[in-house]
Structures are given as C-alpha cells and as structure tokens.
Structure 1
Amino acid sequence: MFGIMRADQKMGSTDSVVDRKPNPSNLDRVTQTQNLISGQVEALYESVQLQNELVKSLAGEKDMLLYQLAEARSQHLKSRVEQGEDPVRTRSASVCFSQACTHQPEIEKLKSKISELQAHSKRLENIHDRQKKRLEMENAKCSNEVKKMKEDKKAFIHEIRRLGEVNEKLLKEKNEIEEKCRSLEGNMHDLSSGRVLLFTGNQQTYVDDVSSEIGNMLSFKMESRGVKIRVERCTDPQTHHNNTPLLVLCIHASRLGTDVHHALQSVKCDRSVALVVLHHKEYHALPSQPSEKLLVGGHYRQLGVIVDIAFLKSKGVYTCDMNDRSLDKLCSFIFNIARQI
C-alpha cells in the first residue's frame, strides 16, 4: 500500500507539472519543461512496474501456500491410507481439515488483495496511457513551437545581417560626406586665407595702377560671395606654386602674339595661371573677337583662363560688358584653383 501511495503522489506531481504551459517565448524553459515531463513519465512507469512486481509476488505466495496445503493434505491422507484407516473419520484428518479451513480466510484475503492490486494496477495503466497521450500532444506542441522559434531566430539573424550591411553602407556614405565637407571647408579656408598673385613683368608704369585696380575689383567681388582673398604682387613667377592663382597681365600694344609671348617668357604655363590681356582703348575701339580665340598655340591651352580687360589711363578700368564677363571668369578661375587644392 505504501507503494500505491507513492505512485499516487508521483501521479499528482506529474499532473501539476503537465498543467504548466511552456512559455513559447523562451526556448530554454520549453526544453526544461520537456525534460521534467520525461522524468515524471519515467517515475510513473517505474511505479507501475513496482505494483506489477508486488502483485506477482503476492500471487506467488498464494500459490506457494496452496501448494503447501495440498502437499500436507496429500501426505497425511497417504499415511492414513497406508495404515488402513479412513482418513476422513480420523482425528488427524479432522485436524488437517480444520487447519485447511483455518487457512481459507487468509487465502481469500490474499485473493481479494490480489484483485484489488490488479484493479489498481489497471487504473494506473489507464492513467499512464492518458498521461502519455497528453504528454505526447504537449511534446508535439512544444516541438512545433521550438521549430517556429528556430525559424524566427533564423529570420531575425538574417534581418540583423541585412540591417548591419545597411548600417555599414550608411556609415561609409556618412564618412565620405564628412570627408567631402572637411575637404570643402579646407578649400574654403585655403582660399580665404590664401593669396592671389599679380605679375606684370617689365611693362609700363601705369600698368601698376591698373593691376591694383583689378586686384581691388576681384577682392570686392570675392568678398561679396563670402570669400576674402589677399591680392599680392609677384616679382618672380619661378617661385609660384600651382596651388596659388597667378594672374599675368599683358598690355596689347602691337601684335597680340608677340606681346603675350614676352609676358609669359618667365612663367610656367599651367592651369593655375590666368592671362589678362589689357586693352588701352575706348569702348567702341575694342576688338570684336576675344583673345582666347586668337591665341591658338598649344602652350596657351595649358592656361587656366584667358580674359580681356579694357582701361583708359584717365578712367582706369571702366564699366562695360567685356570687363564684367572677364572679372566673373577670373572669380570662377580662383574658385576652381581652390577646389583642386
């Protein structure tokens, strides 16, 4: 009976465990619940096995007692028969019969106990079958949840990788934009703190006044665009670096090609050099074609820009369409040099 009580207790413990629902959001708890359920099923199965063994043991004891009773009765009757006595009427036979009657209640009690244990064992087997089916259903449900969790985990990992790639791409673009911003800020800083050089060479004295006026006009125009520059005179163009704009002034006095050739003799022509052709003429006498179309030599194409500016000794650089276009071109030329730094 103690074995029966322990089986009932374990069965109750199993019911309480099985009634708990696994947490579908936690894979570890689902696995622990499955392991606990398996342990309870094994304990219940062992309890049923113990009950079956107890039933078998009691049945064996019953058979042994019946066998011993039958042997005793047979031996007694055999001895009496050999002595020529009627075993039924003898006192010994009466005693043996009374002993058999005395053991009969115990035998019936054992039979009743065996029947009770068999019925209980049957109930335990039924309970075991029901629990097993329910546990199999729970296990199948947990397996499906685990499978779904694994699929969700795989999807999450794929999404995390995709977001990581997107984030890496965005960081790369951000770094490139920041680098461009720093480069532009550096160029603007170099331009605002840099110099613009003016080279006049060995030309007439009044060219100095014109060059100063052109420098002031460029400074004013650049400042109106938010950039301050320092226009300085250049005495030796050989020391000029290609990261500094150099304006070479040339007076158109005789033939254009000859005048430009003399002005550029000591200058290394590259994209940082601008040629400014000065025309000492009234507006109506200005050339119809710009100098950049007349200067077709290969070394002229290496220059950054070629412009024409008109002036009069009495008026200086006067206002006209050609001068306005030329000053705008020179400002753009200075900006382009700054972007290349």
Structure 2
Amino acid sequence: MLVSYKEIRDAQERIRGIALHTPLVRLQIPGSTGNIYVKAEGLQPIGSFKLRGAYNKIAQLSEEERKRGVITYSSGNHAQGVAYAARALGAKAVIVMPSNAPEVKKQATAALGAEIVTVGPASSERKLKAEELEAKFGYVMVPPYDDRAIIAGQATCGLEIVEDLPEIDLVLSPVSGGGLLSGVATAVKLIKPDVRVFGIEPELAADAQESFRGGKLVSWPAEMTTRTMADGLRTQSLGELNFEHVRAYVDDIITVAENEIVEAMRTLLYQARLTPEPSGAVTAAAVLFHLEQLLPFRNAVVVMSGGNVEPEVLRRVVCTV
C-alpha cells in the first residue's frame, strides 16, 4: 500500500520546529521561458533533506525502542539526519558508513554524537553490516529510504513546494534509493495530479532510470555507481517500496553527465547564492543541459537536496574552468 496523504500531513506536524520549511530561490536559466525555482534543502540544520524522514521515523518509536538505540547505513546525509534526530529524542545512534564517504559528512555525523562503523564502498556492504549489528545488539533500524515513515517524512518537501507555489507544473528531484523522489512525487501528485515530476540521476549511476523505463527493479554494481562525483546518489538500486511509488507517480527519470553537474554547481553558487553538493546539483544540471526534455512548463521547482560538499570538491568546482 502506498503512503497516504494523511501520513504525509501527520509527518509535517511531527517534524514542525525540527526541520525547516525551506525557501524557493529564483534561478535564471538562459533559453528558458518559464520560471525556475530552487527548493533549497541545503539550508536544513544538517545541510540536507534527510532530517525530514529520519525524525519522522524515530519520533514514532516507542520509549522502549528508543532506549535500545537506532542504527542505519548511509554515505553521509541520512547518517546526519539519524544522528540529529536521535540526539533530539534521547536515543543512541550507530551509523554504518562507507570508507569513501566524504570526510565532511563523517565529521558532522560524529559531532552529533553518533557511533560510526566503517565498511567498504558498496551500498550492499553497509546494509549487511547494519543488519548484523541490529541482530547482535537489538538496535532499531532506521532505513535510509525503503520505509513508509521515511517516505512520508521526505514527502513534506513536496507539500511545501505546492503550498509555496500553487501554480507549479514541473518538479525535479534527485534520485538514488528513491526516498526523496518517491516522497515528493507522492505529495505533489496527490494534491495536483497534472504536475509532471521527474527524477534526475547521474548517467554513471543510472540504475533508477533503467528500472523505471524497463518496469523492473535492477541493481548496478558498486564499481559502476561509485564512479560519479555525486556521492549521495551512489546507491546501487531503488528501494522496493520506493519503486512502487516511483512507478505510480513519476513521469520519467533523466540522467546528467559529470561535467554538467560541475557547471550546475557553479550556476547555483553564482546565480542563486546557494552552496550545493554534487548530488544536490543534478536537478539544476537537468534544466541547464536537458531543457528540451522538460518543456513545456511555466513554473518549475528543482530540489537541491543538500549542501554538504567537501571543501576540496568545492575548490575544484570554483577554480576549474
């Protein structure tokens, strides 16, 4: 069963005062006759949208479950979301992170009081390790995307978009495991069914596009998905529940190239005065370089999912022309 409108509204009330209602920032794109706005999720307390789902999930646990502690597996942003929410709700947090996770995300997660366990780069490795520790110590799992409370929490981002821009007719969301895309698409389509919703991912990690267009869930090996600079979009497969929502509510999934992501980061920095991480810039890359696939629209929103960028990556983006 798909996430309901009531679940999304309940999540919105649950996270009120914890996650920010982030603004829409105007973005000028040459050649576009429509209005384009950036949903600036990098302004969240943890620098990404992930706080929405993590808090919605952990806030619904019983007191006994919170006392056992929570565990998750993440390349960084969900790690911070779980660590932040767990600290706010008085629960211990254990995070299984890949060895190639950005240092800025590891440090931020540790600073929030979480215990970090490091494994190899594959998303399957960290999931297996988290499940092993869950069984051994009795922790409660907070999945990064394949969970209805997580989807409902991320869907609050879509509610805000429609509330702030009722005349919206196009929404673009990054996609990896599918938590954000499935949530945003569900919220938007339940309120305004005629709005088109697209997922955007790197062409070097295009498992979601292959799954969507083929109508069957597929997984890409880690040695392929880890090629992209968009570290938050290296998940090897959509979640099963996420795929159900994507098939029900998403119109298409488009891929972008690495050089397009870099140029989109520059555009967000210099035009919108926002600091994106590579994963958060893929939607801007789509309107910059694939506009013809998105037309027609009058009012589009591109979700900038996060701003937790490594200083060295940011330096290369700014200094390399």
Name the structure with the higher helix share.
Answer: 1
Structure number with greater CO (CA < 8 Å, separation at least 6) is 2
Name the structure with the higher strand share.
Answer: 2
Please give the range of the TM-score, normalised by the shorter of the 2 chains: under 0.3
Bigger Rg over Cα: 1
Q: TM-score, normalised by structure 2?
A: 0.24
